[in-house]
A = this chain, B = another copy of it.
Amino acid sequence: MSTGPRYLALADELGALIHSGALRAGDRLPSVRQTCQTRHLSPATVFQAYYLLESRGLVSAAPRSGYFVNALPLGASPRTSQPSAQPGPVAVSELVFEVLGASSAAALLPLGSAFPAATLFPLEPLRRALQAGMRKLEPAQITAELPLGHEGLRRQIALRYLRLGISMAPDEIVLTNGALEALNLCLQVLTRPGDAVLIEAPGFYAALQALERLGLRAIEVPTHAGEGADLDAMAALIAEHRPKACWLMTSFQNPLGSLMPADKKRALVALLAGAGIPLIEDDVYAELHHGPDAALPAKAYAPQGQVLHCGSFSKCLAPGYRVGWAAPGPYLRQLQRLKLMSSLGVSLPAQAGLNEYLQGGAYDAHLRRLRAALASQQQAMLAALQAQLPAGARMTRPRGGYFIWVELPAACDALLLQRQLLAEGISTAPGPIFSARAEFRHCLRLNSGHPWDARMAAGIARLGALAKAQLAP
């Protein structure tokens, strides 16, 4: 997949080996001379790759002996969740608004934010693309393209599907006001009030709110912090409760960061197809894999099946533009109509600008920089957490995205912690907002999407200190 500079490809490849455990703490990297020979690279290229790995905190140089793999912060991973087995109504909205409302001030240290730092995005090139895209727009397009969305942009999105090996016509894509609208529309197409829907636990609070708003019951599936929803448990829940839909984030799940492996995605698709249950696949973090290889969505394993795949540019390119989409497969026509009735269409300047930017060909270079930044920020935050959190704390090490899920000792109260930290100018996202029944009270989600600096380090130190204080006798 890597088409950028050679040093970056090499660094990404070695970084992935380290993350996967193929290279372990203390292992020596091949010498620069060896690597030059085996890979036909110049010494400058190999040095540059090794420097980058060092700056990501993955390796250290030992004078005269070469580069060695660092110990990753290897505290235990959180355990597979054990949510309530009975489906039930969702009642989380009030809590979510209370927490988010308090956390939105721009001056806060944004450990609880849902977005990466805006400075990680190509704001200036996007502005230029916006201008150029609008200049090219014919007046007649303005109203004619509104219902279906900008054709060029749908084509660009279709091309990115094609790169993943998924055949998709531009006409099969419904542009929406962010992926959140796509999710809401998909749920409305598939369900009626009172229906049950399978979701992960913990799960994205906006999905929980959507369920609550539409009067749906949540069936929370036990979810592994590394590999996502437990399919055996899901099969049992399906047999017992006959849900009408399943909503999952299969890659770099919010808040766990879990990545369902390819084989498991295949099995998921087979399980749901067998039960006749459509899958709403929320895949907004797909582009944010830290290693060189993209994770295929479940959609790739069911090209003709009932997978409603939802994506967005909000997390990987253009926050604030509010451009997302759904590729709803057999539900295309229903979704198109529901969108027409709900909001007519997506803001045209944003669509024209994104189309222009994507056509320009700079997207992949931006993504490589963004992924490298997210990977290195995550390493730094994990190291700080390892040093500061109380003994017994567990945390995820996602291979993509920018969330870290922390499981504190059971006696900790993340809602109390959230209020205490807020008083010191630090936001966090406490576990209960990710649960249909306010569970995960000793857990929290941290955002590692902001450049690591002294302020971030101080914030993690305060988090650790306050958590320890809660445990003091």
State the A residues within 8 Å of B (CB). Answer: 93, 97, 100, 104-106, 113, 115, 117-119, 123, 127, 130-131, 134-135, 139-147, 177-178, 180-181, 184, 193, 206, 209-210, 213, 319-323, 337-338, 340-350, 353
CA distance A213 to B322 in the complex (A): 24
Instruction: Pick 10 A–B contacts, CB within 8 A, sort by A.
Output: A100-B147, A117-B139, A130-B349, A131-B131, A143-B319, A177-B322, A181-B343, A213-B338, A320-B347, A349-B353
Please tell me if the beta carbons of B337 and A93 are within 8 angstroms of each other in the complex. yes
In the complex the two chains form, is A139's CB within 8 Å of B127's CB? no
State A340–B210 Cα separation when bound (angstroms).
Answer: 10
**Contact of B178 with A343 in the complex, beta carbons under 8 Å:** yes
A460 to B115 CA separation, bound complex (whole angstroms): 53
Please, which residue of chain B has its CB at the minimum distance from the CB of A323? B347
Most buried by B among A123, A135, A342: A342
Known: A106-B144, A143-B118, A213-B338. A343 touches B322 (CB 8 A): yes
A115–B348 alpha-carbon span in the complex (Å): 15
Oligomer copy total: 2
Closest chain B CB from A177 CB (angstroms):
4
B341–A209 touching, CB < 8 Å: yes
How far is B117's CA from A97's CA once the two chains are assembled, in angstroms?
A: 42
A contact patch SS: helix
Alpha-carbon distance A349/B131, docked complex (angstroms): 11
Q: How many angstroms between the C-alpha atoms of A142 and B321 in the bound complex? A: 9
- Within 8 Å CB of A178, what residues of B? 343-345
CA distance A261 to B349 in the complex (A): 37
Which residue of B206, B209, B320 is within 8 Å of A348 (Cβ)? B320
Kindly identify which residue among B118, B145, B347, B350 contacts A140, using a CB–CB cutoff of 8 Å.
B118
A353 CA to B131 CA, complexed, in Å: 11
Most central of A93, A97, A142, A145 by chain B CB within 10 Å: A142
Closest Cβ of chain B: how far from A322's Cβ, in Å? 4
A181 CB to closest chain B CB (Å) equals 4
A337–B94 alpha-carbon span in the complex (Å): 10
Q: Given B113, B213, B342, which contacts A181 in the complex, CB threshold below 8 Å?
A: B342
- Taking a contact as CB atoms under 8 Å apart, the answer to whether B348 and A321 are in contact is yes
Residues on B with beta carbons closer than 8 Å to the beta carbon of A180:
341-344
Check B319 against A345 for contact (C-beta < 8 Å). Answer: no
The closest CB in chain B to the CB of A178 belongs to B344
- Bound form: Cα–Cα A291–B146 in Å: 30
Residues of B within 8 A of A340 (CB): 97
Residues in B whose Cβ lies below 8 Å from that of A181 = 342-343
Q: Is the CB of B135 within 8 A of A127?
A: yes
With A180-B343, A184-B341, A213-B338 given, name 15 new contacts (CB 8 A): A97-B337, A100-B147, A106-B140, A115-B143, A118-B143, A130-B349, A142-B319, A142-B320, A177-B343, A180-B341, A320-B347, A322-B344, A322-B346, A343-B343, A347-B347
Set of chain B residues within 8 Å of A134, measured between Cβ atoms: 127, 130
In the complex, the chain B residue whose C-beta lies closest to that of A126 is B134
Contacts of A131 in B (CB 8 A): 127, 130-131
Q: Which chain B positions have C-beta within 8 A of A123?
A: 139
**Cβ–Cβ < 8 Å partners of A323 in chain B:** 347
Contacts of A117 in B (CB 8 A): 139
Find out whether the CB atom of B113 lies under 8 angstroms from the CB atom of A139. Answer: no
Nearest-Cβ distance from residue A97 to partner chain B, whole angstroms: 6
Q: Select from chain B the residue with minimum beta-carbon distance to A314.
A: B344
Q: Are B177 and A347 in contact (CB under 8 A)?
A: yes
Tell which of A134, A141, A178, A353 has the most Cβ of chain B within 10 Å.
A134
Q: Which chain B residues lie closer than 8 Å to A177 at the CB level?
A: 177, 322, 343-344, 346-347
Q: Tell me which of B113, B118, B143, B193 contacts A320 (CB under 8 A).
A: B143
Please, which residues of chain B bring their CB within 8 A of the CB of A213?
338, 341-342
Chain B residues whose C-beta falls within 8 Å of the C-beta of A193 in the assembled complex: 193
A146 to chain B: which residues have CB within 8 Å?
319-320, 322
